[in-house]
Amino acid sequence: MLLIFPPVAKPCEPPAGVALLSAALKEQEIDCKIIDANVEGLLYLINSDIIPVDSWSQRALKHRESILSDLKNSTVYKNMDRYHQRVYDLNKLLSISVDNKRFRITLSDYSDSKLSSVNSKDLLKSAKEYKENPFYNYFEDKLRNQIEELNTEFIGISLCYLNQALVSFALAGWIKDNFKGKKIIMGGGLISSWMSRPDYSDPFKDLIDITIKGEGEQPLLEFFGKKNIEKRHFIPDYEFVKDDVYLAPGKILPFRGSIGCYWSKCRFCPEKAETRPYSSQRASKVLDDLKVIDRKYKPDYVHLIDNAVTPAFLKALSMNTFGFKWYGFVRFEKEFLDQDFCHNLKKSGCEMLKLGLESGDQGVLDQMKKGTDLKRVSIILKNLHHAGILTFVYLLFGTSFEDSRAAVKTLDYVKSHEKYIDYLNLAVFNLPKFSEDANSLDTSEFYHGDLSLYLNFNHPMGWDRRQVKQFLDKTFKKQVSHIRKNPAFFSSNHAAFFNTFEDKS
């Protein structure tokens, strides 16, 4: 089987989903090959015959090779300004490599002014008109030979993000037209979300032979005749990862210790609406799997991609050292109140933790069912700071539980802890379409399309999106000025590197 991860996603690390699928298949002696068409496709466009349109693009084109080299070198991560110059120059080349009157493409995003990613008719049109897709020449020049050489009947497309949707369907259309007899299997996070809609009616059945909801390992194994395989956790297969391809200062490998979220109570979370079951292994077993990754692939970094790393696994990590540094998403758990625990995490290689605070108003947190205590958060942020672990804090504005006064409380809380917060992610709330709260609010369509997953709503306290955005742009960002600037396009995926390499002289 061939597994393809299509554009566009951040090209800084390999995809974990197809690596887990490959591991499951190979464990049952089913041949499998992975193509990361995302990094291949983006680099194909960047290295294409680009015609400069201004002095900026002329300069960037002249230094194209050195820009790519610099982003794979630790030196540029010592200075945020130098880093941003390289990233913006590279993104400029990418943006003008396509018809930018129709397509908008960046190092982390993709859109088409004529077609919508949440409209099934537009997705099928993208499949039919695949020759118009910016990645069509990549399909022909690079993918064709790989597919012909492998000579497999089944091709899997991993559609995880909305940014991949239109390209994924263009890829599917191209495969159907050019490789008669091939069967397409499509799965991934976005497919799973669409299939979780109560009104989903499989609009792609004439193009996609099989669609898979949720983790694909067991369904794929069953499809290939491997019945009653109860194993759900696999050590990802990263044999396909080539050194010095991804835009990062070393080899980053994603690793998942659990499926779903062990908390699973937050009212704003879209996964709660999808009722995704939680699954984990004993911390000692997860640790053993991670040691295999360390020994077999020798990564420079491990990105823990759990929805939230469990306290038990964090304890196991804190008592070990590895050949790599690591970062991941955690909750504000009581374990972080122990300064020694935080210092031991740092010794184990922890460079950064991503933490979902969401609000600086305790009343809002309680209504969200976040399970977070702000007094505890204050101590944790200080402990992590003193341990030398970067904090990437996520805030969520505009929920139905928040009003303008609560937003100001969040601002005040952040300002009082500014010294202990390294990065901030400011998000405006999107209401999950089939969530519990959607039933009690006055709603309207957010995106017009039969596959849209979110709704607009009339805020019960008048705190609408326009006001929220004005508050963030005109008040919040101006008053919180000493927190680091997020790495452009790559955001938290590159943020940890500025702890390792920053110039402290």
* Residue 505 confidence (pLDDT): 36
Structural domain ending residue among the three candidates 208, 223, 238: 223
Please state, rounded to an integer, the average pLDDT across all residues of the chain: 95
Q: Are the beta carbons of 66 and 90 closer than 8 angstroms?
A: no
CB-based contacts of 300: which residues, under 8 Å, 6+ apart?
Answer: 249, 250, 251, 252, 324, 325
pLDDT at 504: 44
Q: Given pLDDT bands bounded at 50, 70 and 90, which one contains residue 438?
A: confident
The answer to whether position 84 is within a domain reads no
d(CA 52, CA 21): 41
Tell me, yes or no, whether 389 lies in a domain. yes
Residue-wise pLDDT for 441-482, tens only, equals: 999 988 889 999 999 999 999 999 999 999 999 999 999 988
Q: Please give the pLDDT value at position 500.
A: 72
Q: At 262, phi and psi to the nearest 5?
A: -70, -20
Q: Which pLDDT score is estimated for 481?
A: 82
- pLDDT at residue 275 greater than cutoff 70: no
Beta carbons within 10 angstroms of residue 315's beta carbon: 15
Q: Is residue 296 part of a domain?
A: yes
Q: 202, 223, 244 — which closes off a domain?
A: 223
How many structural domains comprise the chain? 2
- pLDDT digits 0-9 by tens, 96-124: 999 889 999 999 999 999 999 999 999 99
Domain ranges, residue 460? 252-500
Q: Are residues 144 and 287 in the same domain?
A: no
Euclidean distance between CA atoms 247 and 251, whole angstroms: 9
349/424 same-domain check = yes
Within a domain: residue 85?
A: no
Domain with 214 in it: what CATH number? 3.40.50
Residues 189 and 318 in one domain: no
User: Based on the domain organization, do 210 and 261 belong to the same domain?
Assistant: no
Angle at 359 between CA 356 and CA 362, to 5 degrees: 115
92 belongs to a structural domain:
no
CA angle, 447 as apex, 443 and 449 as ends, to 5°? 110
Q: In this predicted model, what pLDDT tens digit does every residue of 57-67 receive, in sequence order? A: 999 999 999 99
Backbone angles phi, psi at 257, to 5 degrees: -95, -15
Taking the C-alpha atoms of residue 372 and residue 266, their distance in angstroms, rounded to an integer, is 10
- Mark whether 275 and 385 lie in a shared domain: yes
Express each pLDDT in 6-30 by its tens digit.
999 999 999 999 999 999 999 999 9
Same domain, 214 and 334: no
Residues 21 and 139 in one domain: yes
Q: Answer yes or no: is 259 within a domain.
A: yes
Query: In this model, does residue 213 exceed pLDDT 50?
Result: yes
Across 135-158, average pLDDT: 96
Domain membership of residue 410 (yes or no) is yes
Of 203, 223, 243, the domain-final residue: 223
385 and 266 in one domain? Answer: yes
User: Residue 206: which residues within 8 A CB-CB, separation 6 or more?
Assistant: none
Q: What does the pLDDT read at residue 299?
A: 97
**Apex 398 CA angle, 393 and 403, nearest 5:** 110
Indicate if 281 and 352 belong to the same structural domain. yes
| Percentage of residues of the chain with pLDDT beyond 90 | 89
298 and 166, same domain (yes or no): no
Distance from C-alpha of 439 to C-alpha of 283, rounded to nearest angstrom:
38
pLDDT at 324: 97
Q: Is residue 453 in a domain?
A: yes
Residue 132 sits at the vertex; the CA angle it makes with 131 and 136, to the nearest 5 degrees, is 50
288 and 210 within one domain: no
Of 120, 127, 88, 123, residue with least CA distance to 107 = 88
- Same domain as 168, residue 131: yes
CATH number at residue 428: 3.80.30.20
Query: CB–CB of 94/107 below 8 Å?
Result: yes
Instruction: Band the pLDDT of 502: cuts 50, 70, 90.
Output: low
Answer whether 376's CB lies under 8 Å from 332's CB.
yes
Average pLDDT in the 336-351 region?
A: 98
